[in-house]
Structure 1
Amino acid sequence: MFTVGLPHQPSQPVSRRWRITGWLLAAVWLFFLNIPLLTALHQPEVWRRVLGAVTLVAFGVLYVRVFEWARGRRQAHRTIPRGRAWTALAALLALGLAGIPGTEGDWLTTLVFVAAAAVFLLPLWESLLVVVLAALTPPVTAALVPGWEAEGTVVFAVVLASFAMFGVSRLAQRNAELQGAQQEIRRLAVAEERARTARDLHDILGHSLTVVAVKAELAGRLLELDPARAATEVADIERLARQALADVRGTVGAYRGVSLATELAGARSALAAAGVAADLPETVPSLPAERDELFGWTVREGVTNVVRHSGARRCEIRIDPTAVEIRDDGRGPAGDPDAAGHGLVGLRERARRLDATVTVGRPRDGRGFLLRVTLPDDGRGTTG
């Protein structure tokens, strides 16, 4: 009976061993029906012995089945229909009453199981009503039926079993809530991982394919004017395609990393292919790994937007230990500059993890477009 609160993962099938264990632990409490069973077996008439034994066996089987049914619904996070719960209690009570010719006054022991089942099956106030009625039945019947003694032990057992089952049912409810929370955490973790993968793939392929497209366009213009230069650009396209493929594989395997120095080198090549004059730092400050990666993603996103959207002729990148800034003299993305494109959404998510601020829009002088990521200065920006 007390296995209801055992940890159980609803997403996994219940093993045969645990199903058998649940049945056994529910059935072991039926040992307390031995008193009415002994009374039935000592009846002088055969029909009384048979009636008492048969009704008690049926009572025990029904009780275990009801318990397992309710336990299964709780583990599956499903409600227990009130109509079926009341029907089950009525059937248990009817079997207990039907055995009176064989069990005599000892049939009152079955009220302990009826009260416990009510606590497990019914809402609080309805189950409390059943418990009170079950506890009052022994003294009332003793007063009304000649020869029946007041069974104080039955009253005590009804109250004790009801309190115990109340604790078990609350434990089962908390356990179900915990399992639901664990399922939600797993679902959110999967959703977060999918979002991270989609974001990384967008950032990687968006940048790489933009540069490939620009270089392919440049190579096409140079085919007749400067075949040697066109061949160089085609070779660079092949290199970028292979690098993009490696990045995609690394993203899927969660092994890929982005570094600021690598992204600056890629930015220099991409801007040159797009015919944009680049003003890039020759050296970068030594940064903690998480800042270096964030700044690398910022350079990649900023340069991708410059090449793809801006129509700029000049791009300037400035980096210090707490900030990275990409500025151009173009028109910037169409529409609201603060609109959340996929790349900027991913960049904001990465920046949020380090309490960084992402600024996009027009510079104060109103010319060109600006992307800036600023980190709080915690004294770690210049560590080696």
Structure 2
Amino acid sequence: MKSADTHRAPGAGVTATWNYTLGSIVFLFIIIDAIIAFDYLADFTATRDPLVLALLISGLLAAAARIRYCWFLRDDDFGPVPPRAWTIALFAPAVLSWALAFAVPELSVYAAAQIWFSGVLFAAALPGSRRWIVTGIMLGATAIPALWHVLWDRPIIAQPVGLSHGLVLLYGAMLPFMLFTSLWMWRIIRRLDEARVLAAKLAVTQERLRFAADLHDIQGHHLQVIALQAELAERTLGADTARTAAQLTEIRLTAKHAMEETRSLVAGLRDIDFADELENAREVLSLSGAACALEITDIPRDPAAQRVLGFAVREATTNILRHSTATRATIELASDRDGYALTITNNGVGDAVDPADSHGGSGLAGLRDRVAAIGGTLAVDRSVAEGAECFELSVWIPGDDRRGGAQ
């Protein structure tokens, strides 16, 4: 098989949360900048003033820089502060617009607002108290052009405040709180996801340590006994043949007992209740971003059959996690043709096994042997459903009465 793709599809898990957060922030800036741009355009159409045209161009450049800068707010990729070049690109058109605000009193509020929008966005990428310090500085800088014109008794709004002006002022005032709150929630969700992943890794590590400790207890004890018995046999070799033979017999029995206990340990680790296996599959697939539906109408009574079906569910789940980008999966088990049919489908084929390969990967080959050992069959297939290519694993096993005491 090809190596598994470790990146989940966009919209899965924590990535979906970031997409929604980023989309809301970008949409907010687009709305504000579109209102200002349309007002600039209307004013330029009426006056043909080159300063208004310069404000329109600088505003559009500042809007484009802000939209691109939003991607750097995902601090797990770029660290606490975005690249310096993009920060300069963020502020350059905003500073130009702020400077032009001193020359155009009627549009000074819109012009000065550009440095406020860009400054708040930059502050959102900063940690701790630095964020609020920068926000305060940007607020002071934004107010300077308006205060300048007020001191010189120049009107800063040429017409009564309309709906567009009210929206810009409202969004501008609420911008720090909306932006900082959205990013705060995103970071909490990301930390929770990291904690979930860490908890899963710790659980696996803990299980490995438990298994290693149990294996050490079994093998360490028996190997020590075998070493002592071998030493005794070595001492009596040639002097007491009967005693040597007895010691060799004890060594053989000790080694056999160690093998049996090791097999029991491994069997206890691998044998899982079939109902638990189904729930584990649904939980794991759901956590990976694939909504999993269980449709179980009948379950065989034979433990051997349940064990084989459990291995099939486990193998299919592993393949979905490692070799697909599925967003939906279904596990169906029902009576069929005097037996039981297990069907597992997912809509993210990715690098899944090619059905043209009669044996598939090593995991499916081993599963095929297990199914055949109880008289069943295994098949894999691809199909198209709702415009998406789907992968299907089908296992059929005979009913309890038809298998009889084969196992």
Question: Is 1:113 the counterpart of 2:117 in the alignment?
Answer: yes
Shift of 1:69: 0.9
SS at match of 2:156: coil
Shift of the 142–120 alpha-carbon distance from structure 1 to 2, 3 Å rule, reads same
SS at match of 1:149: coil
- CA distances 1:123-150 after superposition (whole Å, capped 9, x unpaired): 2442342353266357425515734229
Question: Is 1:143 the counterpart of 2:144 in the alignment?
Answer: no
Contact 2:37 2:59 in 1 (8 A): yes
Shift of the 62–248 alpha-carbon distance from structure 1 to 2, 3 Å rule, reads farther
Contact 1:40 1:49 in 2 (8 A): yes
CA distance in 2, matches of 1:228, 1:120: 85
- CA distances 1:334-364 after superposition (whole Å, capped 9, x unpaired): xxxxxxxxxxxxxxxxxxxxxxxxxxxxxxx
CA distance in 2, matches of 1:69, 1:50: 30
Q: For residue 41 of structure 2, what is the amino acid of its counterpart?
A: L
CA distance in 2, matches of 1:90, 1:32: 17
Map of 1:216-227 to 2, 5 A cutoff?
A: 216-227=230-241
CA distance in 2, matches of 1:256, 1:37: 65
CA distance in 2, matches of 1:135, 1:14: 42
- Identity percentage of aligned residues: 23
Shift of the 50–158 alpha-carbon distance from structure 1 to 2, 3 Å rule, reads closer
CA distance in 1, matches of 2:87, 2:211: 51
Shift of 1:68: 0.8
Shift of 1:165: 2.1
Question: Is 1:193 the counterpart of 2:207 in the alignment?
Answer: yes
Aligned to 1:33: 33
Aligned length: 244
Aligned to 1:203: 217
CA distance in 2, matches of 1:48, 1:104: 10
Shift of the 117–185 alpha-carbon distance from structure 1 to 2, 3 Å rule, reads same
CA distance in 2, matches of 1:239, 1:95: 89
SS at match of 2:248: helix
Shift of 1:254: 5.2
Q: Structure 1 unaligned runs (5+)?
A: 1-11, 258-384
Shift of 1:23: 5.3
Contact 1:115 1:158 in 2 (8 A): no
- CA distances 1:93-121 after superposition (whole Å, capped 9, x unpaired): 22543776899443344355235314412
Shift of the 81–22 alpha-carbon distance from structure 1 to 2, 3 Å rule, reads closer
Shift of the 99–191 alpha-carbon distance from structure 1 to 2, 3 Å rule, reads farther
Contact 2:123 2:131 in 1 (8 A): yes
Contact 1:27 1:64 in 2 (8 A): yes
Higher relative contact order (CA 8 A, sep 6+): 2
Shift of the 118–183 alpha-carbon distance from structure 1 to 2, 3 Å rule, reads same
Question: Is 1:63 the counterpart of 2:66 in the alignment?
Answer: yes
Larger radius of gyration: 1
Aligned to 2:139: 132
Question: Is 1:78 the counterpart of 2:82 in the alignment?
Answer: no
SS at match of 2:80: coil
- CA distances 1:180-227 after superposition (whole Å, capped 9, x unpaired): 544554454344334323322322221010111122223334443554
CA distance in 1, matches of 2:238, 2:270: 39
Aligned to 1:243: 257
Aligned-residue CA RMSD in angstroms? 4.1
Map of 1:152-301 to 2, 5 A cutoff?
A: 153=166, 154-248=168-262, 250-251=264-265, 255=269
SS at match of 1:217: helix
CA distance in 2, matches of 1:182, 1:135: 43
CA distance in 1, matches of 2:256, 2:78: 50
CA distance in 2, matches of 1:129, 1:202: 63
Map of 1:340-379 to 2, 5 A cutoff?
A: none
CA distance in 1, matches of 2:50, 2:235: 107
Contact 1:112 1:157 in 2 (8 A): no
- CA distances 1:129-179 after superposition (whole Å, capped 9, x unpaired): 235326635742551573422978455433311122232233344345444
Contact 1:141 1:148 in 2 (8 A): no
Q: For residue 132 of structure 1, what is the amino acid of its counterpart?
A: L
- CA distances 1:243-279 after superposition (whole Å, capped 9, x unpaired): 334444554565399xxxxxxxxxxxxxxxxxxxxxx
CA distance in 1, matches of 2:215, 2:39: 76
Contact 1:135 1:155 in 2 (8 A): no
Contact 2:107 2:157 in 1 (8 A): no
- CA distances 1:288-332 after superposition (whole Å, capped 9, x unpaired): xxxxxxxxxxxxxxxxxxxxxxxxxxxxxxxxxxxxxxxxxxxxx
SS at match of 2:238: helix
Shift of the 166–234 alpha-carbon distance from structure 1 to 2, 3 Å rule, reads same
Q: For residue 121 of structure 1, what is the amino acid of its counterpart?
A: A
CA distance in 1, matches of 2:22, 2:176: 20
Q: For residue 204 of structure 1, what is the amino acid of its counterpart?
A: I
CA distance in 1, matches of 2:229, 2:270: 24
CA distance in 2, matches of 1:256, 1:244: 18
Contact 2:120 2:176 in 1 (8 A): yes
Aligned to 2:94: 93
